[in-house]
Amino acid sequence: MPTVTAQGQTIECEPGANLRQVLLQHGIALHNDRSQWSNCRGIGTCGTCAVQIQGLVSETNWREQTRRSHPPHSLMQDRRLACQTRVLGDPKVTKFDGFWRQDELICWSADG
Ligand code: FES
């Protein structure tokens, strides 16, 4: 069973589970401020669910590549859209500051 580690929690999930859904279902604050209410609900267009991931997850799909290729995101930045990411191994997740999670200031890491 894959295990997601985020904000000090360790969460077991099904292989292939959607990372955004796993985090939200366990009360992890994925979205910041206004983006809690003004996000695309996981269709990959708003870019407010960007996180840094260490561990095995799905490859980027065309939706994610399209959104992350537009500012403030960049395909050069080490971020993934949680809503477009499937959990395959045991990823550790870090969230950053900024409306789109584009900043370098860490909000929370895998350890808390
Ligand atoms: S929730 Fe909008 S891109 Fe992920």
> pLDDT (tens digit, 9 = 90+) per residue, 8-21?
999 999 999 999 99
The domains of the chain, with CATH numbers, are: 3-108 (3.10.20.30)
Residue 60 pLDDT: 97
pLDDT at position 37 is 87
Residue ranges lining ligand 1, Cβ < 6 Å: 39-40, 42, 44-49, 67, 81, 83
The per-residue pLDDT for 103 is: 85
The per-residue pLDDT for 100 is: 85
From 22, 30, 43, 101, mutation site for ligand 1 pocket: most ligand atoms within 8 A of C-beta: 43
Mean pLDDT for the stretch of residues 105-111: 95
Cα–ligand 1 centroid distance for 87 (angstroms): 16
Picking from 92, 86, 3, the residue whose alpha carbon sits closest to that of residue 51 is 92
Q: What is the pLDDT of residue 101?
A: 83
Instruction: Quote the percentage of the chain above a pLDDT of 70.
Output: 100
